[in-house]
Amino acid sequence: MDGGLKKTKGLREKFSFALAGLSYAWRTQNNLRFHLLAALGALLAAFLFRVSAKELLFLFFAIFLVFVAEMFNTAVELTVDLFGPGHHRLAKAAKDVAAGAVLLAAINSLIIGFLVFYPHFVAIFKR
Protein backbone atom coordinates (compact mmCIF):
# COMPACT_ATOMS: atom_id res chain seq x y z
CA MET A 1 0.00 0.00 0.00
CA ASP A 2 1.35 3.42 -0.90
CA GLY A 3 -0.26 5.38 1.95
CA GLY A 4 -2.21 7.55 -0.48
CA LEU A 5 0.86 9.18 -1.99
CA LYS A 6 0.64 9.96 -5.68
CA LYS A 7 3.59 8.95 -7.86
CA THR A 8 5.21 11.70 -9.88
CA LYS A 9 4.43 11.69 -13.58
CA GLY A 10 7.57 13.00 -15.14
CA LEU A 11 10.69 15.07 -15.10
CA ARG A 12 8.83 18.39 -15.29
CA GLU A 13 6.81 17.55 -12.18
CA LYS A 14 9.95 16.45 -10.32
CA PHE A 15 11.67 19.75 -11.15
CA SER A 16 8.52 21.57 -10.04
CA PHE A 17 8.72 19.86 -6.64
CA ALA A 18 12.42 20.67 -6.33
CA LEU A 19 11.81 24.33 -7.18
CA ALA A 20 8.95 24.41 -4.66
CA GLY A 21 11.38 23.12 -2.03
CA LEU A 22 13.94 25.78 -2.90
CA SER A 23 11.24 28.42 -2.80
CA TYR A 24 9.98 27.22 0.59
CA ALA A 25 13.48 27.25 2.05
CA TRP A 26 14.15 30.73 0.64
CA ARG A 27 10.92 32.13 2.12
CA THR A 28 11.24 30.52 5.55
CA GLN A 29 14.93 30.12 6.36
CA ASN A 30 16.81 33.25 7.41
CA ASN A 31 20.10 31.35 7.50
CA LEU A 32 19.73 30.37 3.86
CA ARG A 33 19.34 34.01 2.89
CA PHE A 34 22.36 34.93 5.05
CA HIS A 35 24.43 32.21 3.35
CA LEU A 36 23.37 33.57 -0.04
CA LEU A 37 24.60 37.04 0.91
CA ALA A 38 27.90 35.58 2.09
CA ALA A 39 28.18 33.60 -1.15
CA LEU A 40 27.54 36.70 -3.24
CA GLY A 41 30.23 38.52 -1.26
CA ALA A 42 32.70 35.71 -1.88
CA LEU A 43 31.88 35.64 -5.60
CA LEU A 44 32.24 39.42 -5.83
CA ALA A 45 35.65 39.14 -4.17
CA ALA A 46 36.56 36.33 -6.57
CA PHE A 47 35.65 38.58 -9.50
CA LEU A 48 37.60 41.54 -8.09
CA PHE A 49 40.68 39.43 -7.35
CA ARG A 50 40.38 37.61 -10.66
CA VAL A 51 40.79 34.21 -9.05
CA SER A 52 41.72 31.27 -11.23
CA ALA A 53 39.18 28.81 -12.59
CA LYS A 54 40.47 26.22 -10.12
CA GLU A 55 40.00 28.61 -7.19
CA LEU A 56 36.54 29.49 -8.43
CA LEU A 57 35.68 25.79 -8.60
CA PHE A 58 36.62 25.38 -4.94
CA LEU A 59 34.55 28.42 -4.00
CA PHE A 60 31.48 27.13 -5.85
CA PHE A 61 31.87 23.71 -4.24
CA ALA A 62 32.04 25.27 -0.79
CA ILE A 63 29.07 27.55 -1.47
CA PHE A 64 26.84 24.77 -2.77
CA LEU A 65 27.86 22.43 0.05
CA VAL A 66 26.58 24.99 2.56
CA PHE A 67 23.31 25.38 0.63
CA VAL A 68 22.82 21.61 0.44
CA ALA A 69 23.54 21.21 4.15
CA GLU A 70 21.10 24.02 4.95
CA MET A 71 18.38 22.38 2.84
CA PHE A 72 18.89 18.99 4.53
CA ASN A 73 18.83 20.72 7.91
CA THR A 74 15.50 22.30 7.02
CA ALA A 75 14.13 18.94 5.86
CA VAL A 76 15.19 17.25 9.11
CA GLU A 77 13.67 20.03 11.23
CA LEU A 78 10.37 19.87 9.35
CA THR A 79 10.23 16.09 9.59
CA VAL A 80 10.92 16.11 13.31
CA ASP A 81 8.33 18.87 13.87
CA LEU A 82 5.77 16.78 11.98
CA PHE A 83 5.59 14.43 14.94
CA GLY A 84 4.35 17.05 17.34
CA PRO A 85 5.28 20.00 19.49
CA GLY A 86 6.56 17.85 22.38
CA HIS A 87 10.24 17.53 23.12
CA HIS A 88 12.05 14.23 22.83
CA ARG A 89 15.76 13.67 23.28
CA LEU A 90 16.05 11.89 19.92
CA ALA A 91 14.20 14.70 18.14
CA LYS A 92 16.60 17.19 19.68
CA ALA A 93 19.56 15.01 18.72
CA ALA A 94 18.35 14.78 15.10
CA LYS A 95 17.98 18.56 14.86
CA ASP A 96 21.35 19.13 16.55
CA VAL A 97 23.15 16.73 14.20
CA ALA A 98 21.59 18.39 11.15
CA ALA A 99 22.59 21.83 12.46
CA GLY A 100 26.08 20.46 13.12
CA ALA A 101 26.32 19.43 9.46
CA VAL A 102 25.56 23.01 8.43
CA LEU A 103 28.20 24.26 10.85
CA LEU A 104 30.81 21.89 9.38
CA ALA A 105 29.92 22.99 5.85
CA ALA A 106 30.21 26.64 6.89
CA ILE A 107 33.59 26.04 8.54
CA ASN A 108 34.71 24.24 5.38
CA SER A 109 33.68 27.26 3.31
CA LEU A 110 35.62 29.61 5.61
CA ILE A 111 38.73 27.46 5.27
CA ILE A 112 38.41 27.32 1.49
CA GLY A 113 37.77 31.07 1.37
CA PHE A 114 40.88 31.69 3.44
CA LEU A 115 43.02 29.43 1.26
CA VAL A 116 41.72 31.03 -1.93
CA PHE A 117 41.83 34.68 -0.87
CA TYR A 118 44.86 34.81 1.44
CA PRO A 119 47.45 34.84 -1.37
CA HIS A 120 45.52 37.61 -3.12
CA PHE A 121 45.44 39.75 0.03
CA VAL A 122 49.15 39.16 0.63
CA ALA A 123 49.89 40.22 -2.96
CA ILE A 124 47.99 43.50 -2.44
CA PHE A 125 49.91 44.39 0.71
CA LYS A 126 53.31 43.52 -0.80
CA ARG A 127 52.90 46.17 -3.49
Asked if 94 contacts 81 with a C-beta cutoff of 8 angstroms, the reply is no
13 included as an active-site residue:
no
Query: How far apart (Å, rounded) are the C-alpha atoms in residues 103 and 97?
Result: 10
The domains of the chain are located at 30-126
pLDDT one-digit tens code per residue, 10-28: 888 989 999 999 999 999 9
Name the pTM for this structure. Answer: 0.84
pLDDT one-digit tens code per residue, 86-99: 788 999 999 999 99
Dihedral sign of CA atoms 68, 74, 77, 79 in order: negative
Instruction: For domain 30-126, say whether CATH 3.30.300.20 is its number.
Output: no
